[in-house]
Structure 1
Amino acid sequence: MSRPAGREPRRLTRWWRRRSLRTRLTVIAATAIAVSVFVAFQVASELLDWELQDTAEDQLRADSRVLATDAERAGVEQVQLPPYPGSGRLVRVILPDGSTRTPVGQPALPPVSGRAGRVAQGASADLMESNDSDEDGYRIYTLRAGDGAVQVARVADDSPINRFGFGMLLIGLLCVVGGALVGRTVARAGLAPIDRLTAAAVRVARTRVLDADIPDEGGGEIRRLIQSINEMLAALRDSRRAQRLLAEDAAHELKTPLTSLRLNVELLIRLDRRGTLDSALSAESRTRLLNDLGAQVAELSTLAAELTEVARGDVSDESTELLDLTDVVVAAATRARSRVPDIEVALDVTSVWVSGRPAALQRAVLNLIDNAGKWSPADQPVQVRLRAEGASAVLEVDDAGPGIDAVDVPRVFDRFYRADSARGLPGSGLGLSIVQRVVDAHGGRAAVARSVRGGALLRVDLPAAAPPAPIARRTVGEDTAAR
């Protein structure tokens, strides 16, 4: 059964990817040296072959000229041929009739070629040719002499090339082995910081200890990698610290409403078991107790929702879109009225377009209105103003309450922070911190000041965006209220 054509390359690719970086570098170094040695061998062999051929041909021409001089003096039929030395040079005389004369005991040369015969007939002066048809190849030089021609030949000797190739093979093997060892050593030295980095990462993963930074060593890419991992560890430390603080603050904030809720429920259960619930608590007391229970449950629900919002770590999963901030403000004011019917919101808004996340921005505006509603007297509305100011969309929410003390201003947007004057009011201390996070995510700025009515003025500046088309400016007057 034949295998699919692409299976072997894929298998080789998977095998290569499973090798360690050190092994890959070693294989690459050895392969590069082997290829270099092979190319060098090919080039050197060609150069050596050309050099040997040139030398052999020069020697053949020199020997032929000596023999041709003798043949011209004595005639090709009578010239004295040198005895065969037993190896190396071979000679032959071509007579005018095409026959040949060779020394006694000399091995037979290949038959005279047609081109060599034409040299003997005077068609050309000389000829250099090769004959590889027999077991031994010959390099034959034919030179015109008198009425015929003389030939000097040598057996083509590949032994120098073979010896050179064998030597290059040994050198190549040594170079490949040496290259593999050098590549292994270089890879080990070069990857030593990576090994230490890996060990440190494994240690952090096993111990969960993020406090120790990895030593900054090496240079170039290695150093940048170590610095990046140290920055990642620092970010993880900050994230863990933030999670721990969030858990501690959440536990602290949950303790008071849970304790109060537990005490009230235990009181009801104890009186019910004794059968004295109706006699021990008047109708007014029961109503007040039930109202307290409802308020505590609502406070816990609000706190749980805000904790979930803060713990998510991002503003929202919704996408950014181009929107009119007026629609967001009006929707937030409507929600504030539905949640707390007694709150009165006076709107003075101008159409301003921004690029943002609608739900996150609405939550931020709602938190601002809710915060102002807690402080504003019943006969004084919460004023919400929206306008364009330069390249910014400016949102201001102010109340007629007592305002924020100067000592509390720097911490207004901190998580769970509540001024001493706000301890008795409902809330978790997370609303304004969520506002700060939403504003930061949109590239804006949040600030607090004192309003002209003596209360708190919370201001949010967001980068404005060009509207998708010419939009008529619309204004809702100060006397317009969302009730």
Structure 2
Amino acid sequence: MSGSATPRRLRRWWHRRSLRTRLTVIAATAIAASVFMAFQVASELLDWELRATAEDQLRADSRVLAANAERAGLAQVQLPPYPGSGRLVRVVLPDGSTRTPVGQPALPPVSEAAGRVARGASADLMESGDSDDDGYFVYTLRAGGGAVQVARVADDSSINRFGLGMLLIGLLCVVCGGLVGRAVARTGLAPIDRLTAAAVRVARTRDLDADIPDEGGGEIRQLIQSINDMLAALRDSRQAQRLLAEDAAHELKTPLTSLRLNIELLIRLDRRGTLDSALPSESRTRLLNDLGAQVAELSTLAAELTDLARGDISDESAELLDLADVVVAAATQACSRMPDVEVALDVTSVWVSGRPAALRRAVLNLVDNAGKWSPADQPVRVRLRTEGASAVLEVDDAGPGIDAADVPRVFDRFYRADSARALPGSGLGLSIVQRVVDAHGGQVTVGRSSRGGALLRVDLPAASIARLTAGDDAAVR
């Protein structure tokens, strides 16, 4: 359990460190690993070079001693005196006995392989022993019916001194690498520090107009540009919210004022006890109907404002649906809201990927808008068909149509043409239509119908055959 907890503690410790500390540790670790690898490679090369040099020297000394033994014989050849350190010599006689200089330290016993050289089985042999009891390089060379051996103590002092030097150099490099890594991290992260300070200043002051200066290059510049783009989007969102609030306050003022005046009139007459005499039954009914209409208008406006102020179309998820079902449901709802308006449907089955409630609201707004302008004896025509890879919905009326000057602003929030001021509505219906259509990857346009009225056309991407087939298979399963 403790073994698994230790890596987790190390990860938590690492994640709590600053980026500057991480870069410093990474730089120092990389340098330490590089020095260690260099030390290992250099040690192996030095050991190989020293061993090769020692073996070459042993072969040269053995050839000199073997030449003397060939001339004087192994038993009579004069062995060089032991100098106190360094080279060791020995003669192996044919009977297996050995001769060594006086005062020379004893060499390891003659090995079986060296004995075979003395007996003529092979010409020479290089042996090495790295243990504490046998730390020699021994070269055996066939000579005079026996063999001569020249040995040298295996000395690792040079490698040890080299290793100590490399260790000190490595520690110095690690310290220097840490300092350099810290300096590089400080220099490289300076733009990040300034960016952080600027972001904190924006968060503290709420000043979205303060763009962060563009500096640095590569990823730093991309990060700064992304944050500036985010600030610009926040500025646009705040401006849109301000305009929405101002427009909503302006649109709410008129119905609220009218509603308040009518209610105050009723209260004042009731307090005086002159309600029945001052307001005949017909006038009272008309006033109450006006109050009901004003309340309904406020309810509609509040619902449309709520729908429009949301950042998304709705919380519902997109699904494969038959747009014809949505159009029929929306037309039925419109007829119940406007019983005096006739809706003529000409729809075919077209499958799309979308949000049912949002699309139904958009179609309902289109039919409501057409119903306001359509004469009593002329129906609102709703047509749905497939055109290429698109589902095309057209809603037209026989009214006066939309003036060319009003077409560019017909989808703006709260915009109402001069001719529409006297009609009920908030000026939000077509704006909601455009937002729903845009969210579904479609397009809504305004034209003139063959009957002289307005023609609003919606193009939505139709669902592909592959998706329809996949949906059918899922339904079967």
Q: Same fold by TM-score, threshold 0.5 exceeded?
A: yes
Partner of 2:218: 220
Within 5 Å, give how 1:396-411 maps onto structure 2.
Answer: 396-411=394-409
Q: Distance in 2 between matches of 1:299 and 1:291?
A: 12
Select the residue among 185, 188, 209 that pairs with 1:187. 185
SS at 1:6 equivalent: helix
Partner of 2:81: 83
Single out whichever of 169-178 and 39-48 deviates more from structure 2: 169-178
Partner of 1:284: 282
Residues 136-185 of structure 1, C-alpha deviation per residue, up to 9 Å, x if partnerless? 61112222332433222211110111111111112222222222222223
Q: Distance in 2 between matches of 1:352 and 1:107?
A: 106
Partner of 1:345: 343
Within 5 Å, give how 1:153-168 maps onto structure 2.
Answer: 153-168=151-166
Residue type of the alignment partner of 1:199 = A
SS at 2:212 equivalent: coil
Residues 171-203 of structure 1, C-alpha deviation per residue, up to 9 Å, x if partnerless? 222222222222223333333332222222222
Partner of 1:331: 329
Q: CA deviation at 1:330?
A: 1.8
Partner of 2:148: 150
Partner of 1:320: 318
SS at 1:458 equivalent: strand
Partner of 2:29: 31
Within 5 Å, give how 1:171-210 maps onto structure 2.
Answer: 171-210=169-208
Q: CA deviation at 1:135?
A: 4.5
Q: Distance in 2 between matches of 1:375 and 1:69?
A: 128
Q: Distance in 2 between matches of 1:405 and 1:65?
A: 117
Q: CA deviation at 1:44?
A: 1.3
Residues 372-415 of structure 1, C-alpha deviation per residue, up to 9 Å, x if partnerless? 22222323322223333444333222223333222222111110
SS at 2:403 equivalent: coil
Residue type of the alignment partner of 1:188 = R
Residue type of the alignment partner of 2:317 = S
Q: Distance in 1 between matches of 2:28 and 2:131?
A: 41
Q: Distance in 2 between matches of 1:200 and 1:255?
A: 41
Partner of 1:358: 356
Residue type of the alignment partner of 1:63 = D
Q: CA deviation at 1:134?
A: 4.3
Within 5 Å, give how 1:44-443 maps onto structure 2.
Answer: 44-135=42-133, 137-443=135-441
Aligned CA distance change for structure 1 residues 45 and 188 (closer, same or farther; 3 Å)? same
Q: Distance in 1 between matches of 2:132 and 2:6?
A: 44
Q: Distance in 1 between matches of 2:464 and 2:38?
A: 67
Single out whichever of 258-267 and 112-121 deviates more from structure 2: 112-121
Aligned CA distance change for structure 1 residues 347 and 98 (closer, same or farther; 3 Å)? closer
Q: Distance in 1 between matches of 2:387 and 2:57?
A: 100
Q: Which residues of structure 2 form unaligned runs of 5+?
A: 470-477
Q: Distance in 2 between matches of 1:389 and 1:155?
A: 97
Q: Distance in 2 between matches of 1:60 and 1:392?
A: 93
Aligned CA distance change for structure 1 residues 336 and 136 (closer, same or farther; 3 Å)? same
Partners of 2:108 and 2:134 within 8 A in 1 = no
Q: CA deviation at 1:300?
A: 0.8
Q: CA RMSD in A?
A: 2.3
Q: CA deviation at 1:451?
A: 3.0
Partner of 2:15: 17
Partners of 2:370 and 2:396 within 8 A in 1 = yes
Aligned CA distance change for structure 1 residues 134 and 433 (closer, same or farther; 3 Å)? closer
2:442 paired with 1:444: yes
Single out whichever of 99-108 and 410-419 deviates more from structure 2: 99-108
Q: CA deviation at 1:250?
A: 0.9
SS at 1:447 equivalent: strand
Q: Distance in 2 between matches of 1:282 and 1:186?
A: 90
The alignment's TM-score, normalised by the length of structure 1, stands at 0.90
Residues 188-245 of structure 1, C-alpha deviation per residue, up to 9 Å, x if partnerless? 3333332222222222222222222223333333332222222222222211111111
SS at 1:118 equivalent: helix
Aligned CA distance change for structure 1 residues 270 and 163 (closer, same or farther; 3 Å)? same
Q: CA deviation at 1:466?
A: 5.4
Q: Which residues of structure 1 form unaligned runs of 5+?
A: 470-483
Q: Distance in 1 between matches of 2:91 and 2:347?
A: 120
Q: CA deviation at 1:67?
A: 2.0
